[in-house]
Structure 1
Amino acid sequence: MSSAQETEKEQLKEQVEALEKEVELLRGKKEVELVGDRYEEHDWQKICNIDFEGTRDPADLRCFWQNFLHPSINKSPWSRQEVQQLKEVSRRHQDHNWDHIAQDLGTGRTAFMCLQTYQRFVSDSLKRRRWTEAEDRLLRELVNKMRIGNYIPYTQISYFMEGREPAQLIYRWNQVLDPNIKKGPWSPKEDQLLLRAVARHGERNWWKIRLEVPGRTDSSCRDRYHDTLKEGVKRGGFDAQENELLLKLVEKHGVGRWAKIAAEIPNRSDAQCLRAWKRAVRRSLASAAVR
Structure 2
Amino acid sequence: MFLFIKQSLTQFRFLTVSARPSVPGYSFRKSWSNEEDLMLREARVKYGRSWRVIALSFPGRTPSACSSRFARLTNDPKPIHGRSLAWTEEETNLLREKVAEYGSRWKFLASSHFPNRAPTQLANHWTVKGNPRRRLGTWLPEEETRLFDAIQNDKLTSQAVAQRVGTRNAWQCWYKYHNITQSKKKGPFTHEEDKAILDAFKLHPRAWRFIASEVSKVTGVKRVPGQCRYRYERDLDPRVVKVPWTAEEDKILVDAYNHHGSRLSTIPQFLPNYRGWLRIQERIRILKGRGVIESLNSEDES
Flag the structure with more relative contact order, 1 or 2, with Cα contacts below 8 A and sequence separation at least 6.
Answer: 1
Task: Please give the range of the TM-score, normalised by the shorter of the 2 chains.
Answer: 0.3 to 0.5
TM-score with structure 2 length normalisation?
0.33
Larger radius of gyration: 2
TM-score with structure 1 length normalisation?
0.34
